[in-house]
A and B are shown apart, each in its own frame.
Chain A
Amino acid sequence: MRRKSHLRDSIFLTSLFTIIGILAVFFPLSYFLTTDLTQDNARDYSRQLLGQIKNSIEFYTEEMIMISGYLADHPDVRVYLEGENPLAPSSYSLYQQRARISSELKAISGTRQDLVNIILFREDGDFITNREHAGLTPYWDYREFDWYQETVAAKGLPRLSSSRVENVIAGEHRWVVSLSRAIYDQDHLLGVLLIDLNFQTIADICSNLSGQNGAYVFIMGANDELVYHPQQRLIYSSVKSERFDLVRRSEAIESVIRDGIIYSSVKIKSADWVIVSVTDTRQMVQVSPLVIVTYIGIGLVFALIALVVSLLASRRLTEPILALKNSMQQFQQGDFNAQAQITATNEIAELGDQFNSMTQQIKTLVEHERLIEEQKRKSEIQALQSQIRPHFLYNTLESIIWMASSGEQDKVVEMTSSLAKLMRASASKAREMVTVQMEIDTVSHYLRIQKLRYQDKLQYEIEIDPEVLLARMLRLSLQPLVENAIYHGIKPLRDGGLLVIRAYRAGSELLVEVADNGVGFAPDALHASLEASMDEGESIGLHNVHNRIQLMFGKEYGVSVRSAGPGQNVLDQSDFDPAAGIRTIVSIRLPLVFE
């Protein structure tokens, strides 16, 4: 058998592959969009973060610059710096001056905790601090420090240091960021002002605002040294490294993405510091096996749903078609009872309904045709049987022999010729329908034979309305009735009987009646003779004729029997001569048809 492709498979596979195809495109696409978005978001976030940190740090550095500017040109400060060495015991007013400046420094730093030290150095080594008891360390000369010399070289512009340990105060080492500025009188250096901001303030800004998504912030100073880095010590000892080459010293925030790491950098306004935020999106990519698995998982679940849905859809669509197909195959194989049981209500159901009514009609038609054929065949066999019925033929031939031996030559001639005519009539391959006259001729041959056999015991009359002589009736439909009447009605009579055949028109119908005054039918026997199957004895003929007529012309036609039955006298409704004593009338009702 050739391998067939099934509709259900096609629908199933088409919808399945369509859905899976869409998923296969959609999920990778959305995955890549997601990772792209992740990086964009991370960059935006790092830039925002940087902006905030920049603002905070600028706030502090600008405050320090403001304070330094305020103090550097404060009249008291000027007087102090320009005056004689205040340690020289000269004037009381200078001592007062020192005290005033000291309380001024205290007022500025005292209101806030982030300012650790404010120290005013005179060029000659004297100094004033904001803290009453703080002294300078004896081990160093601050004028030799790099920051001091750089500040002096900056000619009065503020200089912001990197993060450093303040080592000018005796016995104290604090981490600070220093703003220093030299104070000049024209080109003559008067002194240096140093403002120390607690480094923790800067470190806190950087560490508090970073730390999400593995991002961190570091600050680079003017000479590319690290002001702040969360892992400064690891970088110093080369355990870790930082891509300083990706840092941009720009007033606007600039982002460089290298190997999945986002470096955003911005220079602050008030000093030569660069704030850099580093966001490692690889850490987000590290999460991405998770994302991939999530996507694949969701994709598979969808694919599974797609599988089930397409399975159900294909089944729902094809099941009625399949049922229809199966019914058709059944039908094709000859089962005319095949009915498509389709529960759906769509076009397929309509198709099914039409199929059902079609099979129904075909079934009826076929059945009808088959019955006609069957009856025809049966009647032919029947006729053949009746013609060559051995008993009839045997008796007739014996009668001929008897007549011949007794010298009744005329009778022999008559009987033999009648037999011959009867045989010819019944054996002829004539059409189904013959004229009433022809049928009567056939029957009269038969009757003549029987008359010769039964002598006076059988009387018969044939009354045909000339009007119906040419009307049509079924061939060989009358002879069985006559035979029936002779054998069942008259033969049992001791004194012989009368048989009457009439044919006349009744309205649009043709009525052919075979009446006798024989023993009559018991209603049971009558019934049996009409309904019995053809295999049952001698009343086959009657039944056979009835069926043939009904098949041919419809249910309203056929053979009817009226019989008085044993013990009863006459038939009530009859236009026969009452004297004839008719007890049984078998009538054939046919439509009046002329050729």
Chain B
Amino acid sequence: MNVLSKKPAAGEEMAKQGLAGNQRLYALVAMILIYILFAVFGRNFFSFETAVNILDASYYIGFLAIGVTFVIITGGIDLSIGTVAMCSAMIGGVAWEKWGLPFTAGLVLILVSGALFGLLNGTLVSRLKLPPFIATLGTMMVSLGISSIVSKVQTVNFPSRTSEEGWFKSVFSKVQLPSGAMLPTGAILLLAVLLIAFVVLNKTKIGRYTFAIGSNEEAVRLSGVNVVYWKTIPYIISGLCAGMAGIAYASTYTTVVPGAGQGFELDAIAGVVIGGTSLSGGVGSVFGTLIGVMIMSILRIGLPSMDLQPHYQKLFTGIVVIIAVLMDISQQKKR
């Protein structure tokens, strides 16, 4: 078969968007059903405070998921995002707390180190042609190690709300308005990033190449595109988003424990897959990702309310991911 013939035509692309949209719809329905399920059977689940907790719990996972959506659309995977987020947060926190850097510099450092980890992943995958799974697994270990080394295995406390640097919590988490009402600035920020990601993915060259590489990398290469360059970009985006997730986590939970973050990536990737992004690449949507992340958060808060603790959480996350992947495969067959 002529590889060029697989280059997506405009109409085909529309159809793919439609498919992603299809699964997005399913995901939305599933989310509502799961929420109702917990509301009915879970202990003390149905309350405003719990809903806020779910939003708060999905906040940092949301950033991770948006970033990794780019990578998954290229047909790759990034397993390092969770530990990279925590490692970056740790580096920033230590820089501020122990090295005496200005806090703003610490925040920038978080984003920079996230992006650098992304660059590392991108280089390993696109230039050195390592399988993404292995390369990012390696980065995961590297970031875990760096996190423990930098922190000297001590927990790091981020500045409290009332301190001089407390503004960052108002920016990245939530702020109480003079009226007493709570403004979820973090959620607003997440939505903003989501919109930017949507625009980047659908309206820019970066997005177009991301889809194209995921759809048929060989065809893109034959069209004279610098695949090595354009394949690195999604990993850098993913790393940058992981940095943002690190900031989001720090502003929500204040304390960063060394060596944490393992398992975050699974929540995020599960959210992405549930949201209709195909693991085989070429198809995806950031809005679907948001819904998927919400589902994961509902599960995380909801399962304990049915007395299903750690092992069950893993079990259900696994089941949900498998179902999502199966749906993805069956839709591809239909195509």
Residues of A within 8 A of B (CB): 55-56, 59-60, 62, 65-66, 68-70, 72-73, 75-76, 78-79, 82, 93, 96-97, 103-104, 106-108, 110-114, 156-158, 183-186, 251, 269-270
Most chain A Cβ neighbours within 10 Å, of B155, B257, B307: B257
**Chain A at the B interface: SS class:** helix
Q: Which residues of A contact B47 (CB under 8 A)?
A: 103, 106-107, 110
Complex formed: what's the CA distance from A59 to B311 in Å? 10
Q: How far apart are A65's CB and chain B's nearest CB, in angstroms? A: 5
Contacting residues of chain B (97-114) with chain A, CB-CB under 8 angstroms: none
A107, A108, A186: residue with the most chain B Cβ atoms closer than 10 Å: A107
Q: Is there contact, CB below 8 Å, between B258 and A157?
A: no
Would you call A111 and B162 a contact (CB within 8 A)? no
Residues of A within 8 A of B253 (CB): 65-66, 69-70
The answer to whether B257 touches A75, judged by C-beta atoms less than 8 angstroms apart, is no
B298-335, CB < 8 A from A: 301-302, 304-305, 307, 309-311
Q: Are A156 and B176 in contact (CB under 8 A)?
A: no
Instruction: Determine, out of B19-27, B38-46, B238-246, the stretch whose residues face the partner at the interface.
Output: B38-46
What's the minimum C-beta distance from B96 to chain A, rounded to whole angstroms?
Answer: 14
Known: A111-B42, A111-B302. A78 touches B53 (CB 8 A): no
- The reply to whether A157 and B155 form a contact with Cβ atoms under 8 Å apart is yes
Give every chain A residue within 8 A of B176 (Cβ-Cβ). 75-76, 79
Q: Take A68-B255, A70-B252, A183-B160 as given contacts and tell me if A111 and B260 are in contact as well, using a CB distance cutoff of 8 Å.
A: no
With A and B bound together, what is the CA distance between A156 and B255 in angstroms?
Answer: 10
Measured between alpha carbons, how far is A73 from B176 in the docked complex, in Å?
12
B255 touches which one: A59, A107, A158, A251 (CB < 8 A)? A158
Closest CB in chain A relative to B60 CB, distance in Å: 11
Docked complex Cα distance between A183 and B166 (Å): 14
B182 near A156 (CB under 8 angstroms)? Answer: no
Given contacts A108-B53, A270-B155, 6 further A-B contacts (CB under 8 A): A66-B253, A103-B47, A107-B53, A110-B305, A111-B43, A156-B160
Contact present for A185 and B259 (CB under 8 Å): no
Identify B310's interface contact among A59, A65, A183, CB under 8 A: A59
Q: Which residues of B contact A70 (CB under 8 A)?
A: 56, 252-254
Interface residues of B (CB under 8 A from A): 42-45, 47, 49-50, 52-53, 56, 148, 153, 155, 157, 160-163, 169, 173-176, 180, 182, 252-255, 257-260, 301-302, 304-305, 307, 309-311
Sample 6 A-B pairs with CB under 8 A, ordered by A number.
A72-B254, A76-B176, A111-B302, A183-B160, A269-B259, A270-B155
Q: Which residues of A contact B153 (CB under 8 A)?
A: 251, 269
Q: Taking the nearest CB of chain B, how far is it from the CB of A244, in angstroms?
A: 22
B254 to A69, Cβ gap below 8 A? yes
**Chain A positions within 8 Å of B174 at CB level:** 75
State how many angstroms separate the Cβ of B106 from the closest Cβ of chain A: 17
State whether A107 and B148 are in contact (beta carbons under 8 Å apart), knowing that A70-B56, A158-B255 are contacts in the complex.
no
Q: Which 5 A-B pairs have the closest CB atoms?
A: A107-B49, A110-B44, A69-B254, A111-B305, A112-B304
CB proximity of A133 to chain B, nearest CB, Å: 16
The interface centre, meaning the residue of B47, B148, B157, B174 with most chain A CB atoms within 10 A of its CB, is B157
Asked if residues A111 and B45 are in contact (CB atoms below 8 Å), the reply is yes
| Minimum CB distance partner of B162 in chain A | A185
Complex CA gap A522/B312 in Å reads: 128
Q: Out of B162, B252, B259, B309, which one reaches A82, CB within 8 Å?
A: B162
Cα–Cα, bound, A70→B311 (Å): 23
- Measured between alpha carbons, how far is A506 from B192 in the docked complex, in Å? 147
- Contact partner, B180, options A73, A93, A158, A184, Cβ 8 Å: A93
Docked CA distance A69–B307 (Å): 23
Contacts A56-B310, A185-B160, A186-B162 hold; do A269 and B49 have CB atoms under 8 A apart? no
A72: which B residues are within 8 A, CB to CB?
160, 254
Distance from A309 Cβ to chain B, minimum over Cβ atoms (Å): 56
Contacts of A55 in B (CB 8 A): 310
Closest to B259 in A: A269
Q: How far is it, in angstroms, between the C-alpha of A79 and the C-alpha of B180 when the chains are bound?
A: 10
Contact indicator A110/B43 (Cβ below 8 Å): yes
